[in-house]
Amino acid sequence: MKYNMTLTPEEEGILNGSQGETMAKVIKTLVLYGDAFGAEKFVDVTAPGHLVTSFGISVLKPVFSIMNELIESGLKAKMPFTLDPRPVDYDNVKCNFAQKFVFNKVIYGMQKPYEEQLKKLGLKSPKSFSCTCYLDEVGNTPKKGDILSWAESSAVVYANSVLGARCNRNSGIIELFGQILGKVPLFDLLTDEGRKAKWIIEVKTTKTPEAQILGSAIGLKVMEDVPYIKGLDKFLGTRLDDKVKSYLKDMGAATASNGAVGLYHVENLTPEAVESGSALIRDDAKVYVIDDAELERVKSSYPVIWKDANAQPERCFIGCPHLSYNQLIEWTQRFESELKKQNKSKVGLNTILSSAPEVIEHFKKDDKEMYDKLIGLGLKLTSICPLMYMNNPLCGSKPVITNSNKLRTYTSARYFTDDEITAIAVKGGF
C-alpha cells in the first residue's frame, strides 16, 4: 500500500499485520483518511471517545458486520466511550401500533444486538446515550487541548469551541477506529493553523439573538470554515456560566448542521479567543454582518415541507441537542408563565423535552418540585434522539414543530423560536 503519512515503526508494523488483519484494516483506513487531508503523522488520543451511531437500524448491517469483525478480533476502544441518544422511548414518546411494529421489526430491529456489540467495544454505561456527553452529569468532558476521536457534529463543535479540545468532524466508524488505535491523523482542527478563523462575524443585533437562528445564519454563510464572532459578548458577557454554555451549545449545533462548522471562536468568551484574541483571525478573513434584518431573512428562508403546509402541529420536540439542567428549569418556568398568560393549566400540544439520562436523574433528584411541576404542566421528558425518531417515513410525515434548527434541517419539522413554540404548544396549535 502506498501512503504519504510518516508512520512510526510500531504503526508501520500494525499496518503490516503485527496486531492482526482486522487491526491492519483499521489503521489502513485511518492512514488513507489522513492522506486525503495531508496529515503528516498520527497523534495520540488523550480523552474518551463519543460515537454518533447509537441506533440499531436494520439497514446498517454492513456497519454491524464491521463491529462483529472488531469484536471477534478482540479489539475495543482504549477508553470507555459515550454515544448519541437512543431512537425510541415508548413510555414518553407514544407510538401507535403500526409505528411500534415498524420501529421494532423493520427500522430499529437491531437495537438490542447492536447495544450488546457496543458493550463489547467499550460503551461506558447503559446510561451513556446522549449527544451532550460533555455535560457535567454525563461526565465525558474533555479538557482544553485534549485530542479527541469523536463524531456527532454538535458535540464536536462544542468540544472544540467551548472546551478548547481538538477534534475533527469525523464520520461514524472513523471515530471508533481512532479510539481503538488510540491515535488520529493530525490535520485541520487538530492543528493551530486549522483553528484560525476565515470569517469575522459581526453581531449587530438590538437584542440577544436567538441562538438557533444565529447559528443557522453563521453555518449557512461559512459552511465548514472557522468563524470568529464579535459582538456576542455584549449580550452573553465574558463568563462561561451554565446559561451561556447552554446558549453556545444550541448555537453551535445550528452552525454544524445548517453548515458544517466544527469550531467557532467568540470574542472575549471562548477559551482560545480569550487567550489569543484577534491573532486567531486569518489575514484574508471575510466579514459577515448579522443584524436583526439578516436574522429575519434567514428565518423566513426556511421552507415548510409538511405534506399539508396548513396542517395543525401534532407534536412538539424541544431538546435537539439534549437540554442541560438549567434549560430544563428554564423551560418549565417558560411554560408555567405562558400557561398563566393563556389562562390554562396544561399544554395543549403533545410536547416532548429531551435531555440526557443523567441530567434527568439530576433534575428529578435535586429539583423534585420543579420536575413535578414540569410533568404537571403536561410536558413529557425523554432521552431519545428526536432526529432519529423522526428520520423514517412513518413519523417523518407527521406535522411536527421544534425549536431546533438541527431537527429542522434533517427532518420535515417546522422551526419556531423559543417564545413562538411555547405559545403554540400551550395553545395546542396555531
Partner 1 sequence: MAKEFKGRPVVAGNIHAKAVVSREGVNTLATFQKSALMKKKQVICSDQNNKDIYNKNLTGMALCLPKTIGSTTGGMVLHTVCALGIAPAAMLFSESIDSLAAAGVILADVWTQGTIVAVDRLGDEFLNYVQDNMTITVKQDGTVTVE
Q: Which residues bind partner 1 (CB under 8 A)?
A: 25, 28-29, 32-33, 36-37, 52-53, 57, 59-63, 65-66, 107, 151-153, 156, 168-175, 188, 223-224, 257, 259-260, 303, 305, 391-393, 409-410
What is the Cα gyration radius of the chain? 22
Nearer to partner 1, 156 or 244 (CB): 156
> Least distance (Å) from partner 1 to the CB of residue 386?
13
> Least distance (Å) from partner 1 to the CB of residue 29?
5
> Least distance (Å) from partner 1 to the CB of residue 329?
30
Report the Cα 259 to chain-centroid distance in Å: 13
Half-sphere exposure of 411 toward its Cβ, with a 13 Å CA cutoff?
Answer: 28
Distances (CA, A) of 171 to 161, 176, 389, 399: 19, 9, 20, 30
Nearer to partner 1, 28 or 334 (CB): 28
> Least distance (Å) from partner 1 to the CB of residue 106?
8
Query: What cell numbers appear for 417 in the block?
Result: 423560536
Is the separation of the CB atoms in 345 and 339 below 8 Å?
yes
> Least distance (Å) from partner 1 to the CB of residue 355?
21
Nearer to partner 1, 22 or 342 (CB): 22
Nearest one of 279, 277, 280, 283 to 196, comparing CA atoms: 280
Nearer to partner 1, 66 or 138 (CB): 66
Cβ neighbours, 10 Å, residue 132: 29
Give dist(CA 168, CA 189) in Å, integer: 5
> Least distance (Å) from partner 1 to the CB of residue 197?
19
Nearer to partner 1, 206 or 303 (CB): 303
Pairing mode, strands 183-185 and 42-44: antiparallel
> Least distance (Å) from partner 1 to the CB of residue 145?
21
> Least distance (Å) from partner 1 to the CB of residue 260?
6
Pairing mode, strands 281-290 and 197-203: parallel
Can you state the percent helix, strand and coil of the chain, rounding each to 5?
A: 45, 15, 40
> Least distance (Å) from partner 1 to the CB of residue 178?
11
Give dist(CA 158, CA 253) in Å, integer: 8
Is the separation of the CB atoms in 328 and 355 below 8 Å?
yes
Q: Write the DSSP assignment of 134-195 as a string of letters.
A: TSTTT---PPTT-B--B--HHHHHHHHHTS--B---PPTTHHHHHHHHTEEE--GGGSTGGG
Angle (nearest 5°) at CA 156 between 155 and 160: 115
Give dist(CA 76, CA 206) in Å, integer: 51
Nearer to partner 1, 322 or 362 (CB): 322
> Least distance (Å) from partner 1 to the CB of residue 370?
33
Beta bridge partners of 165: none
Nearer to partner 1, 28 or 41 (CB): 28
Residue 110, classed as helix, strand or coil, is: coil
Nearer to partner 1, 84 or 233 (CB): 84
Nearer to partner 1, 25 or 364 (CB): 25
Nearer to partner 1, 157 or 374 (CB): 157
Nearer to partner 1, 288 or 410 (CB): 410
Beta-strand runs (E) in 168-314? 183-185, 197-203, 227-230, 265-266, 281-290
> Least distance (Å) from partner 1 to the CB of residue 307?
11
